[in-house]
Amino acid sequence: MKRKDTVKLISADEMEFIIDKDAAMVSQTIGGFAEMELGEVTFPEISAVILEKICQYFYWALQYSRGKETEFHIEPELTLELMMAPNYLHT
Partner 1 sequence: MGCENIEFDQGWGEMEKGIEKLKRILAGEKETPFTSREYMTLYTTIYNMCNQKAPHDYSEQLYDKYKKTLDEYITSIVLPSLKDKHDEFMLRELVERWLNHKIMVKWLTRFFHYLDRYFIIQKSVPALNEVGTTCFLNLVYEDVHPTVQDIVLSLIDKEREGDQIDRALLKNALEIFVEMGLGQMNRYQDDFEARFLQETTNYYSRKASKWIEEDSCPDYLLKSEECLKKEVDRVSSYLHSSSETKLIKKVQHELLVVYVNQLLEKEDSGIKVLFRDDKVDDLSRTYRVYNKISQGLDLVANVFKQHVTIEGTAFVQQAEEATSNQASNTPGGHEQVLVKNILELHDNYMTYLNSCFQNHNLFQKALKEAFEVFCNKTVNGSPSAEILASFADHILRKGGSEKLSDEVIEETLEKVVKLLQYVIDKDVFAEFYRKKLARRLLFDRGTNDDHERSILSKLKQQFGAPLTSKMEGMVTDVVLAKEHQSSFQEYLRNNPDVHPGLDFTVTVLTTGFWPSYKWFDLSLPSEMVKCVKVFKGFYETKTKHRKLTWIFSLGTSHINGKFEPKPIELIVSTHQAAVLLLFNASERLSYSEIVAQLNLAHDDLIRLLHSLSCAKYKILNKEPSSKSISQSDSFKFNPNFTDKMRRIKVPLPPVDERKKVIEDVDKDRPYAIDAAIVRIMKSRKVITHQQLISETIEQLSRMFKPNIKAIKKRIEDLITRDYMERDRDNSHMFRYLA
Q: Please report, as ranges, the residues that interact with partner 1 according to CB under 8 A.
A: 28-29, 32-34, 36-38, 40-45, 81, 84, 87-88, 90
The closest alpha carbon to 90, from 61, 47, 52, belongs to 61
- Give me the least distance between CB of 87 and partner 1, in Å please: 7
User: Which CB sits closer to partner 1, 8 or 63?
Assistant: 8
Helix (H) or strand (E) holding 16, with range, is strand 16-20
User: Which CB sits closer to partner 1, 42 or 63?
Assistant: 42
User: Which CB sits closer to partner 1, 41 or 78?
Assistant: 41
- Give me the least distance between CB of 81 and partner 1, in Å please: 8
- Give me the least distance between CB of 32 and partner 1, in Å please: 5
Distances (CA, A) of 62 to 18, 25, 76: 16, 10, 23
